[in-house]
Amino acid sequence: MTASVLDRTAALPSVLRVGLSRGGIELKQFFRQKEQVIFTFTFPALILVLLGSIFTDTFEGTGVTAGQVFAASMAGAGIIATSFLNLGIGVAQDLEDHTLKRLRGAPIPATAYFIGKVILVAVASIAEVVLLVAVGMLLFDVELPSTADRWFTFAWVFVLGTISCSLLGITISSVAKSAQGAAAVVNVPYVALQFLSGVYIPVSTLPDWMIDIGSFFPIKWVAQGFRSVFLPDGMMSMEAAGSWEHGTTALALAAWCVIGVVLCLLTFRWTNRREG
């Protein structure tokens, strides 16, 4: 009998396998919600078109237009929309409609649930970046990276940004008391941080106190990292530190990945507090 139990235990799928399977389910559920898909992908692109059309100045001595800067910054901010924003609301919805309670009874490890959400965010983020860069290329003459090192920078900024912001989205979902309340909880910091992080307004024009606050959060580093990928090095002078700060960007985003894991472990729950 003991050997039989051990055999069944050994046959259980790994956390990674369960997470990958959960990721497939998350993707199917997401793309079946056409209204959510349309809003998620078109809203940042619409803002980019509006800002790039309103602000048409060229940065002196660089030949870079405001539209190109917005496109690079918002490609990074698009990751925040698909990770922090969507997961902050989505996990709260899973909690409210008892999806998490059912998954716990399956049982599915919390880590596998997190993996599934990160897979959803990664796929949605890739699609979001492709759309925003395509709009930038079509309307604002944005050019794709031409060197391997820039593509490498794109890759690690994307990966670290996706993971860190996904974990923070899962964390902030625990603050909301309902799925409806989650929309307000996540949208306020999301919109505010885009201004503080130089997404909608060039960093060089922000007061120091705004730069200091923005530098504490990952959105600033993701947007700056993407600017270093899609803009010429002559634009480094427009950054707060006068450089792309790749080392600092990597450390900041990696730190937020660690912080995000800790916060998820401390705040994640399978049921509403009132349900026990």
Supply the Cα-derived Rg of the chain in whole angstroms: 20
pLDDT in tens, 88-107: 888 888 888 888 888 877 77
Closest residue by Cα to residue 220 from 71, 78, 76, 64: 76
Flag whether 183 is in a domain.
Answer: yes
Closest residue by Cα to residue 163 from 93, 250, 248: 250
Flag whether 178 is in a domain.
Answer: yes
Across 177-203, average pLDDT: 83
Alpha-carbon distance of 213 to 259, in angstroms, equals 17
Flag whether 3 is in a domain.
Answer: no
Alpha-carbon distance of 246 to 228, in angstroms, equals 9
Q: Which helix (H) or strand (E) covers residue 136, if one does?
A: helix 110-140
How sure is the predictor about 10, in pLDDT bands with cuts at 50, 70 and 90? low
Across 140-163, average pLDDT: 94
The percent of residues above 90 in pLDDT, for the chain, comes to 34
How sure is the predictor about 138, in pLDDT bands with cuts at 50, 70 and 90? very high
Task: Identify the three-state secondary structure at position 13.
Answer: coil
Amino acid found at 157: V
Across 136-153, average pLDDT: 94
Flag whether 162 is in a domain.
Answer: yes
Q: Which domain holds residue 81?
A: 14-275
Alpha-carbon distance of 178 to 173, in angstroms, equals 9
How sure is the predictor about 2, in pLDDT bands with cuts at 50, 70 and 90? low
Full-model pTM: 0.87
Q: What's the total number of domains in the chain?
A: 1
pLDDT of amino acid 152? 97
pLDDT in tens, 17-58: 888 888 888 888 888 888 778 877 888 889 899 999 998 888
Instruction: Count Cα atoms within 13 angstroms, Cβ side, for 118.
Output: 23
Phi, psi of 176 (to 5 degrees): -75, 145
Flag whether 6 is in a domain.
Answer: no
Task: Identify the three-state secondary structure at position 41.
Answer: helix
Across 165-182, average pLDDT: 83
How sure is the predictor about 275, in pLDDT bands with cuts at 50, 70 and 90? low
Flag whether 5 is in a domain.
Answer: no
pLDDT of amino acid 115? 87
Flag whether 2 is in a domain.
Answer: no
Amino acid found at 187: N
Flag whether 1 is in a domain.
Answer: no
Mean of the per-residue pLDDT values for the chain? 86
Q: Are 73 and 223 a contacting pair, CB within 8 Å?
A: yes
pLDDT of amino acid 114? 82
Query: What does the buried/exposed string (b/e) look like for 76-103 if buried means 16 or more CB atoms within 10 Å of the residue's CB?
Result: bbbbbbbbbbbbbbbbbbbbbeebbeeb
pLDDT of amino acid 150? 96
12 has pLDDT over 80:
no
Alpha-carbon distance of 165 to 189, in angstroms, equals 13
130 has pLDDT over 70:
yes
274 has pLDDT over 60:
no
pLDDT of amino acid 216? 92
- How far apart, in Å, do the first and last CA atoms of the chain sit? 35
78 has pLDDT over 90:
no
Alpha-carbon distance of 148 to 18, in angstroms, equals 34
pLDDT of amino acid 6? 46
